[in-house]
Amino acid sequence: MTHRYVYLKDFSEHPGPRYRRLGPDSAEEFRESYLVPAIESSEQVIVNFDGVLGIASSFMEGAFGELVRTHKYSADFLYSKLTFEGNRLEVIEAWECIKEAAKNG
């Protein structure tokens, strides 16, 4: 089984806004440049939140909720594919973003 670690701090220690057009280090850039390639090339993806100085809810939603809305991954697929590590509240929020996106379409 192939595992791939994605360290958010390697992308940015200060994650930015939801969309690229709103500024640097956006969730959109993280999702498209880091998450989706990892999901497509690995059996299991471990996303680590350690070493990041705060993550806005808009970033979390743009990074993880949009995996469902924009990239059309099902929540069940993401539950089997992703593991989150780090701050407990950030881990819960990432899963909530996926769950809500799946629920609301």
Which tens digit of pLDDT belongs to each residue from 48-68? 999 998 899 999 999 999 999
Q: What's this model's pTM, rounded to 2 decimal places?
A: 0.94
Confidence band of 29 (pLDDT split at 50, 70, 90) = very high
Identify the pLDDT of residue 53. 87
Q: What is the mean pLDDT of the chain?
A: 96
- Nearest in space to 49 (alpha carbons), one of 3, 82, 81: 82
Return the domain boundaries, the chain. Answer: 3-104
- Nearest in space to 72 (alpha carbons), one of 39, 42, 102: 102
The stretch 69-95 carries a mean pLDDT of: 96
Any bridge partners for residue 84, and if so which?
A: 47
CA distance 76 to 42: 16
- Nearest in space to 19 (alpha carbons), one of 62, 79, 65: 62
